[in-house]
Structure 1
């Protein structure tokens, strides 16, 4: 039984038991709730305690890896520029589209009210910061204070500047620092792995409390969440087709046929890395020479997650909607910046760890409570499929575009290769 299936089973079991006891045994349910709430909270705290060092370390490693890749030459630089532009565009798209989706297709009022009541202790308060406060706090005056107060946007800015400073050091010093942060990241992943061994218990305890206090509303809310966040991933996936059509000068149908095998592998493995050999063949079918795809695709798999910032921001905005947290312009700007930047550091992590490492900083930067993430991680399997397929599709589209714009195969040769591609 996979870890994801165990967590999902624990979620369903906790919700069902909570609903049953709330209706037929409230006394026993209340007694059990007194034990499950502290256990669920402790499990969440175990995940939260490693987020700051993990995110900072991964961001330093990711930016250092990008700088190292840029030294590979002009094609690598073009790829990195394209990646950064796409990440920011997708994040801004999510900041606009997610609230529209929640307004057009809102969570049922009774479901929302029940869930807010169950998460009332997690509801954030205080004054909503404006844009002025956002710009005032973007550069930390005390990095230790920023870390202790979970000021993730300030931490992200410092980590980014620090990482770029490392790339300017002599090779021995640069390697020493990168190895140091790699060791920190590896240690944090080991700790999270230990905490996630208890994930079924933690999710069960959290789900039991929600089931007791909300009833069947929890199932409807989770389905609504999956549909909302997955929509952002689908939009990113679909945007790869016009990018390939315009950038690589290939027909949408031809691009669809060429990328389909990579999408199938992505669906079956939920891994961009496992899809790399098929992506190389898809790129070659689109006319990208091995000299280009052999540079762009490995970099893409290492540092580029096209769907991540948009979907991570969508998760944070959904939790804000769920808990009644008001998001002002300053908070939204902080979320956009944190999501777009930290994506470069969310590489090579297992899905469950990646969910917390990438979504929690965005939520905290926006002042959104992260307690609900313990439940949402249990259903991340479905949105994660759209994450992987969208990432793989965009990787191939960008590779074909860079090949076409870098003097790749002539259009006539590209057409001939595509016509000879099976299927």
Structure 2
């Protein structure tokens, strides 16, 4: 059994045992949460402790890789511009559509109340800004205090500026610093893998408390969450078709037929990297020159995830709605900026790692409690399908669009590198 299925099984068993215990002896079931609660919290804290160094390290190495790619030629630079614009656009799409979806298709009030009761210890984290405070605090005055206070957006802005500054150094100095942060990331990933090895225990403990306090409402709420967040991923997937038709100037039916094999590989493997050969074939069928596709697609697989910021923001907004945390303009702006900026830093991580590393900073920046993420990571397998298929679809669409704009560059090989 894979780790993802073990985690999901732990979630189901934890909620199930909690429900059964509450039916047999409500007081005894709640007394047992005095033991399971601290166990689950300790596991969650172990994940939290690596977020700051992991995000900073990933941003530095991610920006370095993107800058190196952009320097490789005009096609690569144009690809990076498409990627950045699409990431911000899909994040804004999520910021608009997710609240609408949550209002139109609401979580039943009794479920929401029960879930809030099950996380009575959850408190907003970080500084929750008004819109004026958002602009006033977006640049940190003290980066150490920002890191210590879980002020993720100011910390992210500093890390981003630091990463771009490193790209302007001499090659020897740049390689030393990038290598240092790459080693930092690798060390944090080792710790996270250790923590995730204990995930079935931690998630069982968290789920037991939810089941004991909420009953069967927990299962209904998780299904509502899966459908809501997956819907945002599906919208990003559909926007890939729009990009292909409008900017790539290909017919909708032709694009759908060409990209279908790559989507099938994405569903079966849940890996954009494994889908790369099929994406290359689809791009060439749609008229993209091999030299152009051979530049854009590897960069896309390495540093671009179209669905990530939109779905990460959707998760944070869902948890806020779930727990009754009001989200004003300042909180939403902080969430959008954090989601869009941190995406490039988390793309190379496995799904269970990238979920927490990507969503936690967004939640904290918005003042949303992150205790619920320990449960939601257990059901990430299904939304992750939409993440991967959406990424593959958009990667192919951008490749076709860039190839259309770069036809002249391919005709002048001194402009673009040979592949």
For the aligned pair, the TM-score class normalised by the smaller chain equals: over 0.9
Q: Is 1:55 matched with 2:92?
A: no
CA displacement 1:266-302 (0-9 Å, x = unmatched) = 0000000111111111111111111001100000001
Task: Please say if residues 288 and 404 of structure 1, whose CA atoms lie closer than 8 Å, have aligned partners that are also in contact.
Answer: yes
CA distance in 2, matches of 1:361, 1:342: 8
Query: What does residue 150 of structure 1 align with?
Result: 150
CA distance in 2, matches of 1:264, 1:357: 27
Q: 1:133 to 1:15 in 2, by over 3 A?
A: same
Q: Is 1:42 matched with 2:42?
A: yes
Greater Cα offset, 25-34 or 223-232: 25-34
Shift of 1:172: 0.2
Query: What does residue 104 of structure 1 align with?
Result: 104
CA RMSD, Structure 1 to Structure 2 (Å): 1.4
Query: What does residue 90 of structure 2 align with?
Result: 90
Gaps of 5+ in 1: 411-423
Shift of 1:25: 2.2
Shift of 1:390: 0.1
Query: What does residue 242 of structure 2 align with?
Result: 242
Task: Please say if residues 303 and 347 of structure 2, whose CA atoms lie closer than 8 Å, have aligned partners that are also in contact.
Answer: yes
CA distance in 1, matches of 2:264, 2:154: 40
CA distance in 1, matches of 2:228, 2:179: 39
CA distance in 2, matches of 1:153, 1:291: 38
Task: Please say if residues 248 and 402 of structure 1, whose CA atoms lie closer than 8 Å, have aligned partners that are also in contact.
Answer: yes
Runs of 4+ in 1 over 6 A off after TM superposition: none
CA distance in 2, matches of 1:216, 1:125: 28
Shift of 1:32: 2.1
CA displacement 1:248-267 (0-9 Å, x = unmatched) = 11110000000000000000
Task: Please say if residues 266 and 388 of structure 1, whose CA atoms lie closer than 8 Å, have aligned partners that are also in contact.
Answer: yes
CA distance in 2, matches of 1:127, 1:380: 27
Query: What does residue 416 of structure 2 align with?
Result: none
Count residues with an aligned counterpart. Answer: 410
Shift of 1:123: 3.7
Q: 1:77 to 1:109 in 2, by over 3 A?
A: same
Query: What does residue 280 of structure 1 align with?
Result: 280
CA distance in 2, matches of 1:126, 1:2: 35
Query: What does residue 365 of structure 2 align with?
Result: 365
CA displacement 1:114-159 (0-9 Å, x = unmatched) = 0011112104399953111001110000000000001000011000
Query: What does residue 392 of structure 1 align with?
Result: 392
What are the within-5 Å matches in structure 2 for residues 225-304 of structure 1? 225-304=225-304
Taking structure 1 as the reference length, the TM-score comes to 0.95
Taking structure 2 as the reference length, the TM-score comes to 0.96
Query: What does residue 31 of structure 2 align with?
Result: 31
Shift of 1:394: 0.2
